[in-house]
Amino acid sequence: MNSITCILLHILFFIIFGCLGTPCDASPFRDPDIPDGETITYAARVDDISTKVVETVRIIQVGARACYEITSLSESLDRTLTLDKETMSIISVHTVRKFPRATLDSHLQVKNEQPSSATDEVILADFSGLIYIFRGFLFDQLEQVKIGFYGEERRRSFGFSASNKKKEKIQVNQAITECYKIEFGLDGFWGTFFPKMNVWYSVDPPHYMVRYQGLVGPPGSPKRDMEVISYTVNVPEPLKAEHGLSPLR
C-alpha cells in the first residue's frame, strides 16, 4: 500500500469515526447548556402597555430525549415551549392567550419531524419558538441562516432570515453586557417595508436573551420591547422530585 493511499484512508477514517465520536454541525444550532431552574424576569412593553414577563427553564425527559421546557408567564400570555435539548428543535407549544372576553388555549405537537442536514436554513413549526431556539445558534461560525415555516410554499416570493451582526456591549439594568446581535427580517425588496426584529444574546453561555426589539409575532403584529431585569438559577426542592412541572399543565 503506497503512502498516498494510506493518507487517504486515514482521512476517511477520521471523517467517519470523528463524526461518530463528536457532534458534526449538520444544524445551525447546538445545545446552549441552559441550567435547570434558570429564571429570567423581563420588563416588557407592547405598544404603550408595560408589563413583566417571567421565564423559567426546566430540563425534562420526553421519551428518550432530554428537553428544555421553557415557561413564559405574563398578564396577557402564558406559554410553555418544549425544545429538544441537543438540536433545539420544537417538540411542543402550549399557549394560553388571555383577553377581556375570552381565554384562548391552544396546543401544538410536532410529530415525525425529519432532521435537516442543512447548516444555512431551518424550518420552524411555530414562530413563537424563534427567539428561544436561537440561544443555541452557532454564533462563532455562521453569519446568516434562512428561516422557513411549515405550510409555506417551497418557492415563496420572499424569504425570512437571521443575520449575525457584530458583537455589542449594551447597558441594561445598570449593567454592561457583551452580546451577540441577531437581526431577523424579510429578505430583499420586501425587507425595506417591514421592520426588523433585533435580539441581543449574552456572549457568555448560556446565551440568554438580554434585549429584544421587534414585534410580538410575524410581520403586522404589535411592536414589543423587552429588557432583562434579573437572571437567577434556583430549582426549588419540591420541584426536583416532580420533573417537568409546568403551570400550564
Asked if residue 59 belongs to a domain, the reply is yes
Asked if residue 81 belongs to a domain, the reply is yes
Set of cell numbers at residue 24: 458534526
- Before 205, cis peptide (omega within 30)? no
Q: Provide the 3-class DSSP secondary structure of residue 132.
A: helix
CATH number of the domain to which 208 belongs: 2.50.20
Asked if residue 2 belongs to a domain, the reply is no
Residue 118: the pLDDT is 73
| The dihedral sign for the CA sequence 170, 172, 174, 177 | negative
Among 219, 229, 115, which Cα is nearest to 174's?
229
Quote the pTM value. 0.81
Lowest average pLDDT, out of 47-51, 93-97, 200-204, 213-217, goes to 213-217
Asked if residue 36 belongs to a domain, the reply is yes
Residue 202: the pLDDT is 98
Please give the average per-residue pLDDT across 32-60, as a whole number.
Answer: 95
Among 75, 77, 45, 53, which Cα is nearest to 225's?
45
CA distance 203 to 197: 19
CA distance 89 to 196: 23
Asked if residue 18 belongs to a domain, the reply is no
Residue 155: the pLDDT is 52
Residue 89's pLDDT band (boundaries 50, 70, 90)? Answer: very high
Give the residue numbers spanning the domain of 116.
25-241
Asked if residue 170 belongs to a domain, the reply is yes
Residue 187's pLDDT band (boundaries 50, 70, 90)? Answer: confident
Domain count, the chain: 1
How many Cβ atoms from other residues are within 10 Å of residue 187's Cβ? 14
Contacting residues for 128 by C-beta, under 8 A, at least 6 apart? 79, 81, 93, 95, 217
Among 170, 189, 190, 188, which Cα is nearest to 179's?
170
Q: Residue 124: which region, alpha, beta or left (left: phi > 0; alpha: psi -120 to 50)? A: beta
Contacting residues for 30 by C-beta, under 8 A, at least 6 apart? 23, 86, 88, 136, 138
Set of cell numbers at residue 233: 438559577
Asked if residue 19 belongs to a domain, the reply is no
